[in-house]
Every structure is written in structure tokens, then in C-alpha cells.
Structure 1
Amino acid sequence: MLPNDINMLVSFLNTKLRDDDMSLEHLLEINDADVDMVMERLQRHGFIFDKASNQIKVK
């Protein structure tokens, strides 16, 4: 289950992306999260996913 707090969510996702070296899609899949819903939530709070660095960043 993913954290509800947006800052905790970003921290969790970036830590897992870095430490486990996996794609965002795979990370969300194994956590039973909908990719589109998570991306929309991140964007609504001013974050983007940077594929080149494989991390979530502030817009």
C-alpha cells in the first residue's frame, strides 16, 4: 500500500526506484496501484516523473 501523504509518497517512490532499480510502472504494479491515478495525483501536487533519471521531481 502506498503512503497517502504526497511527500511521503514521493519519498517512498524515489527511494524504491533508486534502491530497487525498477521502472515506475513495475513499482506501482507490485504495489497494486493504478499508474494513471498515481501520475495524476503527482501532477496535481506539482510533481513530474523524469524518465531519464528514473525519479519523481518537482515541476
Structure 2
Amino acid sequence: MFNFESGDINMMLSLLNMKLRDEFSDLDKLIGYYSLNKEIILKRMEKEGYFYNEEVNQFRKI
């Protein structure tokens, strides 16, 4: 699987949004399924200007 602590941010964005679109109805289900650290993911995404939008179930740039 992808290294969410140090992997390329563009690949991370693409992977997360694809999984959210195709397999998971919300971020918590994706996090739980893969046993990921939600805090690390949110911090890395926010650092690059991306935030999770629950309404559309995607990370988007603000």
C-alpha cells in the first residue's frame, strides 16, 4: 500500500479520492479498513491546501 507519511502528495490525493469515490462512503470507513492514521493524513493534506469535504466525499483544494 501507499506510504501516507512520505509518499508523493499528488499520488496521495489521487488514491484517496479514487477510493472515496469507488469504495468508501466516507473517510472514516477508508481509514478503518486500511488501519490508517487519520491525523497524519489530514495534516499532510491540509499542509498542501487540501481539505476533506464530507458533502462530496472528496479532498478538495481550498
TM-score, normalised to structure 1, is 0.87
Shift of 1:25: 1.3
Aligned-partner Cα distance in 2 for 1:10–1:47: 9
How many residues were matched structurally? 59
Q: Cα RMSD over matched residues?
A: 1.3
Provide the residue aligned with 1:18 in structure 2: 21
TM-score, normalised to structure 2, is 0.83
Identity rate of aligned residues, in percent?
Answer: 31
Give SS of 2:40's match.
Answer: helix
- Runs of 5+ in structure 2 lacking a partner? none
